[in-house]
């Protein structure tokens, strides 16, 4: 009877932890998705595809700007368009919502995956670290393709591990379906990574090569069939232009043969982005290295280097199966992304859950040894919360002069940030959010005045980081980044011409989104009597007039004093009309 009661209490605690974690993820990621207007070209570039889907009814290969097709496959756009259809229109919230749902689903699935194999403590801590990772949080609240594909890859990897763990009895259709969704989101790596990592893992566990190759080929082939079907339908509309674009975005990006330089960085960039992406936990990890006690060195007989390598390889292969699988996921994906010239921090997101498990194991061991490091970092992060709040009130009171921003290239933009924080009115809820880091700091300082375990301080630090994230997402980021948005340009153009097409020389995705896809390429005008308004980046103004001066007469209308977030320079608007 007692054993049965203990079993029910354990199950009940696990369910409570699961739903607590689900609620925490939702409260941290979802409420503020629509607070920050688009301030870069990436998010409106994805959103405008969903706008064109809903306007045209073409869910295979919609066009925006009148002639341009999307750079990526359509799964994310389907998700955005579906949510937006239910919500009544495409917005900042509906554009970012699929990423947040994907992140929450990935964290909850990874929690259950780790809990079943390594216990409740490590599972909870792993997801807490993942939720407070800077890179994961940034991707989870951004309307981009990355987090949706990452969730598909990570969950598919866990499912394939479970498939092998259960003796490869049932065909893993859910994993194949997720791989298909990942491929339909951003390209073939959605299928490549799960098959590559699982295949190498099976071979290192002693499975035979050809059966393993057969299974992975089967999974990969089935998972790319939906992508191939979409390509076939899209080719009927886009033709060779679509093929060239998909090849450039996938093969060209990997081989470095793109027609333009795209995020080209050296190998060390990947290491740097991992350090930055795991803020604040990389700070804790580095500091902990100085607290480790060195053991006494034991003299050994000299061993040849090839014997050492052989011993290390044997030790690596013989470790716990889940540990081996996680290490292979981290190493293989990391090395894969060291090969191409194009490197971005979000490319490495699939390894973050598996790294979170390693971080959790390391921090748990430190806490079990009663390390005082966590108490010290409670003071550090508490002080950070106090400083953040104090700086805000100093700016709010107008005690920071504009001259402190200097006269550099970004001076005007920084002054705009300063004025936004000083002058923006806030409601009662926003003031509570502003004070949240200060409240978290007070709680941390109270913990430090009493005797608490290292685990208590560790989870308190997690809570403090979440308080800072909520304050940034709920108040600071919407206030500051609104000054970077091209919404202002869209409003000026809307006042000049409330209806009909407007024109641009180059790409202005943010302006086009807020104008509901009314922009068209001025250089493609075929009407000999055309006239209207055109915007151009200041740095391309001379080029546009040289190219089009034989066809049109240009009269300046306005010249922005601030930089466009798309063009990263001021924008000039002209009224143009065809020459007689």
The CA-CA-CA angle for residues 411, 475, 563, to 5°, reads 30
Two tokens, residue 310: 């052989």
| C-alpha pair distances (Å), 38 with each of 31, 33, 48 | 16, 11, 12
Q: Which tens digit of pLDDT belongs to each residue from 535-560?
A: 999 999 999 999 998 889 999 999 99
**Per-domain residue ranges for the chain?**
2-291+309-367, 376-484, 488-578
Q: Which tens digit of pLDDT belongs to each residue from 460-503?
A: 999 999 999 999 999 999 999 998 999 999 999 999 999 999 99
Q: Which tens digit of pLDDT belongs to each residue from 102-131?
A: 999 999 999 999 999 999 999 999 999 999
Q: Is the pTM of this model over 0.85?
A: yes
**Hey, is 322 helix, strand or coil?**
helix
Report pLDDT for 84. 96
Note whether 562 and 412 are within 8 A (CB).
yes
Cβ of 205: how many Cβ atoms within 10 Å? 13
pLDDT in tens, the chain (580 residues): 445 545 546 667 778 899 999 999 999 999 999 999 999 888 999 999 999 999 999 999 998 888 888 878 999 999 999 999 999 999 999 999 999 999 999 999 999 999 999 999 999 999 999 999 999 999 999 999 999 999 999 999 999 999 999 999 899 999 999 999 999 999 899 999 999 999 999 999 999 999 999 999 999 999 999 999 999 999 998 888 888 777 776 665 666 665 555 667 888 999 999 999 998 899 888 888 887 666 555 555 666 666 677 777 778 788 899 999 999 999 999 999 998 888 889 999 999 999 999 999 999 998 888 778 888 899 999 999 999 999 999 999 989 888 887 777 777 788 888 999 999 999 999 999 999 999 999 999 998 888 788 889 999 999 999 999 999 999 999 999 998 999 999 999 999 999 999 999 989 999 999 999 999 999 988 888 889 999 999 999 999 999 998 889 999 999 998 889 888 899 999 999 988 7
N-terminal to C-terminal alpha carbon distance within the chain: 96
* Helices 352-368, 373-396: inter-axial angle, 10-degree rounding: 120
Residue 575: strand pairing partners:
533, 555
């Amino acid at each position: 009877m007692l054993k049965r009661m203990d079993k029910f209490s354990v199950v009940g605690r696990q369910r409570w932890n699961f739903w607590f974690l689900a609620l925490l993820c939702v409260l941290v990621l979802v409420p503020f998705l629509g607070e920050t207007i688009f301030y870069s070209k990436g998010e409106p570039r994805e959103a405008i595809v969903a706008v064109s889907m809903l306007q045209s009814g073409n869910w295979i290969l919609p066009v925006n700007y009148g002639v341009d097709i999307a750079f990526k496959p359509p799964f994310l756009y389907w998700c955005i368009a579906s949510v937006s259809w239910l919500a009544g229109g495409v917005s900042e919230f509906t554009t970012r919502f699929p990423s947040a749902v994907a992140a929450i689903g990935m964290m909850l699935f990874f929690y259950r995956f780790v809990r079943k194999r390594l216990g409740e403590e490590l599972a909870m801590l792993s997801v807490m670290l993942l939720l407070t990772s800077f890179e994961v949080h940034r991707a989870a609240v951004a309307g981009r393709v990355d987090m949706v594909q990452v969730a598909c890859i990570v969950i598919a990897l866990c499912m394939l591990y479970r498939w092998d763990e259960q003796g490869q009895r049932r065909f893993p259709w859910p994993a194949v379906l997720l791989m298909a969704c990942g491929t339909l989101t951003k390209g073939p790596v959605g299928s490549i990574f799960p098959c590559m990592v699982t295949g190498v893992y099976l071979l290192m566990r002693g499975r035979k090569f050809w059966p393993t190759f057969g299974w992975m080929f089967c999974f990969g082939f089935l998972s790319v069939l939906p992508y191939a079907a979409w390509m076939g339908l899209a080719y009927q509309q886009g033709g060779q232009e679509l093929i060239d674009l998909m090849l450039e975005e996938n093969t060209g990006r990997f081989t470095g043969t793109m027609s333009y330089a795209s995020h080209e960085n050296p190998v060390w960039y990947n290491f740097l982005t991992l350090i930055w992406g795991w803020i604040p936990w990389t700070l804790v990890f580095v500091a902990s290295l100085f607290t480790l006690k060195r053991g006494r060195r034991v003299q050994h007989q000299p061993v040849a280097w090839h014997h050492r390598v052989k011993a290390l390889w044997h030790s690596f292969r013989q470790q716990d199966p889940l540990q081996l699988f996680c290490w292979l996921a981290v190493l293989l994906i990391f090395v894969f992304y060291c090969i191409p010239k194009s490197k971005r921090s979000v490319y490495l997101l699939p390894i973050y859950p598996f790294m979170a498990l390693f971080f959790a194991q390391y921090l748990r061991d430190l806490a079990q040894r009663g390390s005082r490091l966590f108490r010290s970092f409670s003071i550090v992060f508490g002080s950070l919360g106090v400083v953040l709040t104090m700086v805000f009130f100093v700016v709010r009171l107008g005690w920071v002069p504009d001259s402190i921003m200097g006269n550099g290239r970004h001076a005007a933009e920084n002054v705009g940030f300063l004025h936004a924080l000083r002058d923006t009115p806030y409601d009662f809820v926003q003031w509570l959010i502003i004070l949240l880091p200060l409240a978290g700091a007070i709680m941390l300082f109270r913990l430090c005045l009493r005797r608490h375990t290292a685990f208590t301080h560790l989870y308190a630090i997690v809570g403090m980081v979440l308080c800072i994230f909520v304050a940034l997402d709920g108040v600071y980021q919407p206030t500051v980044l609104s000054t970077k948005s091209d919404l202002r340009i869209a409003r000026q153009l809307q006042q000049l011409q409330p209806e009909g097409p407007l024109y641009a020389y180059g790409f202005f995705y943010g302006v086009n989104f807020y104008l509901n896809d009314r922009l068209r390429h001025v250089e493609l005008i075929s009407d000999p009597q055309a006239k209207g308004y055109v915007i151009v980046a200041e740095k391309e103004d001379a080029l546009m007039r040289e190219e089009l001066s034989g066809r049109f007469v240009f009269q300046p209308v306005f010249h922005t004093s601030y930089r466009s977030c798309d063009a990263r320079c001021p924008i000039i608007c002209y009224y143009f009309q065809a020459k007689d």
